[in-house]
A and B are shown apart, each in its own frame.
Chain A
């Protein structure tokens, strides 16, 4: 069974631009979570989607948004990029309800560099 895939793997943008990252969960998984990883702040939860609905959101500004499609694929969007948005963005999927009792499987991440 294929793992979680994320595209693109690397991305370079300039300040003020917007970016869209994509995540395809493991087949059959319906919950998708997004995390931001930076050297200073570590791994921080962005949001979680289940059946096309955002169920939980971390403490990030409204410039960060996401969505989930009927096939469980998810995208996250960052508008008006800032230098501090440079990070590794990780997507994780889980089978059913997405609660912590469900193991999350992580993708390889998208490394975003904002210049």
Chain B
């Protein structure tokens, strides 16, 4: 079955600390992987995406993610978290020609301590 697992429901980090959000996927075909962020009352904003090539992808707001095929993982990282990063983060997977049908994880809520 196709699925995305984000094992951490809620993470709290101190401002300035590093961050890693975990994402594992199960997908039958070549996966296209995404990280989205959602602030309260808002829609989803794309942080970064991986289609092919370099397995370390850079995104907006200083985020990066690494695709590890052997571990079926696509973890999101940021070296130094800012208070404005507090939001909910969603990992998603789709396939070529999947026609809009992204499969999302349940999300990880990030809180940032001053």
Q: Which residue numbers of A lie inside 8 Å of B, CB to CB? A: 4, 31-33, 35, 42-45, 48, 50, 55-56, 58, 90, 92, 94, 97-101, 103-109
Chain A at the B interface: SS class = strand
Structural contact, B104 and A100, CB atoms closer than 8 A: no
Among B44, B94, B97, B100, the one with the most A-chain Cβ atoms within 10 Å of its Cβ is B100
With A45-B101, A100-B97, A105-B46 given, name 7 new contacts (CB 8 A): A31-B100, A50-B99, A99-B97, A100-B100, A100-B102, A106-B36, A109-B43
Structural contact, B101 and A33, CB atoms closer than 8 A: yes
Also in contact, A98 and B96, with CB within 8 A (given A42-B105, A106-B44): no
Also in contact, A43 and B99, with CB within 8 A (given A4-B43, A101-B32, A103-B46): no
Taking CB atoms and an 8 Å cut-off, the chain B residues in 58-100 that contact chain A are 90, 92-100
Also in contact, A92 and B100, with CB within 8 A (given A43-B90, A100-B94): yes
Structural contact, A90 and B44, CB atoms closer than 8 A: yes
- Residues in B with CB closer than 8 Å to A99 are 94-100
Number of A-B contacts (CB under 8 A): 79
Q: Which residue numbers of B lie inside 8 Å of A, CB to CB? A: 32, 36, 41-46, 49, 51, 90, 92-107
C-alpha gap A31/B100 in the complex (Å): 8
Chain B at the A interface: SS class = loop
Structural contact, B51 and A104, CB atoms closer than 8 A: no
- Residues in A with CB closer than 8 Å to B97 are 97, 99-100
- Residues in A with CB closer than 8 Å to B51 are 101
Also in contact, A42 and B100, with CB within 8 A (given A90-B43, A101-B32, A101-B51): no
- Residues in B with CB closer than 8 Å to A104 are 46, 100, 102
Contact with A106, one of B45, B49, B98, B101 (Cβ below 8 angstroms): B45
**Could you tell me the distance in whole angstroms from the C-beta of B1 to the nearest C-beta in chain A?**
12
Q: Provide 25 A-B residue pairs closer than 8 Å at the C-beta atoms, listed in order of the A residue.
A: A31-B100, A33-B102, A43-B90, A45-B103, A48-B99, A48-B101, A50-B99, A55-B99, A56-B98, A58-B101, A90-B44, A97-B99, A98-B99, A99-B97, A99-B99, A100-B96, A103-B49, A104-B46, A104-B102, A105-B46, A106-B36, A106-B44, A106-B45, A108-B41, A109-B43
